[in-house]
Structure 1
Amino acid sequence: MADLDNSLATMNDAASANDPALQGALRDPIMVDPKLVQQANANTVRPPLQPGSGALPPEGIGQRADAQVAGALRAAPAPTGTCTQCAAARRALTLGALAQSQGASAQCVNNVAYSADWANRLPQGVPLYPDAQISEAAGADRDGCALRVVSFTSAAPVQRLLDWYHTRTSEAGFRSEHQADSGEHILAGTKKNAAFFLIVKPRQNGGSQVDLMADGGG
């Protein structure tokens, strides 16, 4: 039986080798439609462009930040009432939409560009908190705009951030107002043609989540 199988296999191999249609099908290049290639695996999950850094904030960053903000801080004013701007801020899905919800001009919002570098270009009167871990930043400088929007986390509690920003912005000449709603706080202020807007809320694991907007000089 084995000899018969081997004989049949040899005959099939010989026949395949002498079959021009079969050999052409096996050896000719595969025809590919570029338009259909673009549709292949359309629903697959693509890998990231680069691996995640996995970076963690240095140990003790909260303590070092406390040392940098040490000194007399002015207590932020008590909330004047329910936050009328919080609902609009919650609906904003992007920093540009957040800026527009808080009064930034549509022209400046349309010119917004996203880059972490904008966090280093905040006006002097509305600085970045010392231990800020930047999540996202955006800004616009075209057509007379001077808009900055930064989202970050901090190891500091909500009240310390409110007091620190109230102190810094007051020193820069801003007059601020404080509103609160369900643990979410907004500190906002103006001077001449400049304005700032700060949203702070506690994080579940400690520290605070912050959205900061500065429009105009400062």
Structure 2
Amino acid sequence: MSPNRLLLASFLLLAACSKQPAAQQDLDGLDKELTAGIAGNQRDPALTAALHDQIMVDPALTQSANANVVRPPSRPDPLSIPPDVSAGRPDGVTAADLKPTPAARGDCPACRKAQGALTLGELAARQAPATAAACAQAVSYSAGWATRLPADVPLYPDARVREAAGNDACGLRVVSFASGAPVGRILDWYNARVTRAGYSAEHQASGAEHMLGGTRGDAAYLVHVTPDLAGGSAVDLLVR
């Protein structure tokens, strides 16, 4: 091969090695066109606006996005009660602590009075005689009242206080609590406590609602027990 032809072949090989594939050249050109604002885009105002303008968001429509997606609530439901995980667990009560409750009477006017009471004060006012109703309606609310019950009518051993109220002017204590024990066990426990302390005991029932109440001189008590939907029992205890 002549020197001139050899030199020409060398230049052709170098040019071929340095030249990028056609596909790569097309991609590079497209990238430059989209990002560098070359003359092609500058001639197309719609494309330039679509690439460079700020994205617009309608706040009203963002609230309806993913409307069918299940997500947790923004705050707890104030009316919800967590499941009672202690229902059925040992409460420390022995057979010696129980006394069979007298058979319930068929009618329970006290149960009807308790229905619809929205506050402990209203519940106490409905159960109290007319002379004590004003005192019952003037109760103050604090969990501390649950620690100021008389020793003869205390909280059930596994009680979990939900609400408590009281009024020292009339010696009234009202406590709402939950227990893992069934209704019958709570009634038998309170029946043993109050009768050993000299109180009378009368049992009334209406369906699933039970009332155990009695007096000792000027003192009185009332235990309102119903099955708790979460398990165990829900109890309202009134002592005066």
TM-score (norm. length: structure 1): 0.68
The Cα shift of 1:166 comes to: 0.5
Tell me, yes or no, if the aligned pair for 1:69 and 1:164 is still in contact at 8 Å. Answer: no
Tell me the equivalent position of 2:22: none
Show CA shifts across 1:100-128 (max 9, x none).
00015133123300011111111111110
Of 87, 90, 94, 2:119 maps to: 94
Tell me, yes or no, if the aligned pair for 1:62 and 1:131 is still in contact at 8 Å. Answer: no
Tell me the equivalent position of 1:130: 157
Which secondary structure does the structure 2 equivalent of 1:188 belong to?
strand
The Cα shift of 1:2 comes to: 5.6
Listed as ranges, the gaps of 5+ residues in structure 2 are: 1-40, 46-73, 77-81
Matched, 1:113 2:134: no
Matches within 5 A, 1:101-180: 101-103=126-128, 105-141=132-168, 144-180=169-205
1: CA distance, partners of 2:230 / 2:137: 35
Aligned length: 168
The one-letter amino acid of 1:83's match is C
Matched, 1:196 2:216: no
The Cα shift of 1:145 comes to: 1.2
Alpha-carbon spacing, 1:138–1:178, altered in 2? closer, same or farther (3 Å): same
Alpha-carbon RMSD across the aligned residues, in angstroms, is 2.8
2: CA distance, partners of 1:164 / 1:103: 24
Which secondary structure does the structure 1 equivalent of 2:99 belong to?
coil
Alpha-carbon spacing, 1:60–1:162, altered in 2? closer, same or farther (3 Å): closer
Tell me the equivalent position of 1:208: 233
Tell me the equivalent position of 2:35: none
The Cα shift of 1:131 comes to: 0.3
The Cα shift of 1:70 comes to: 4.3
The Cα shift of 1:61 comes to: 8.1
Alpha-carbon spacing, 1:181–1:61, altered in 2? closer, same or farther (3 Å): closer
Tell me, yes or no, if the aligned pair for 1:61 and 1:131 is still in contact at 8 Å. Answer: no
Show CA shifts across 1:131-183 (max 9, x none).
00111100011xx4100001111010110000000110111111010000011
The Cα shift of 1:83 comes to: 0.7
TM-score (norm. length: structure 2): 0.62
Which secondary structure does the structure 1 equivalent of 2:158 belong to?
coil
Show CA shifts across 1:69-106 (max 9, x none).
44252111111221111111012110000000001513
Listed as ranges, the gaps of 5+ residues in structure 1 are: 6-45, 49-53
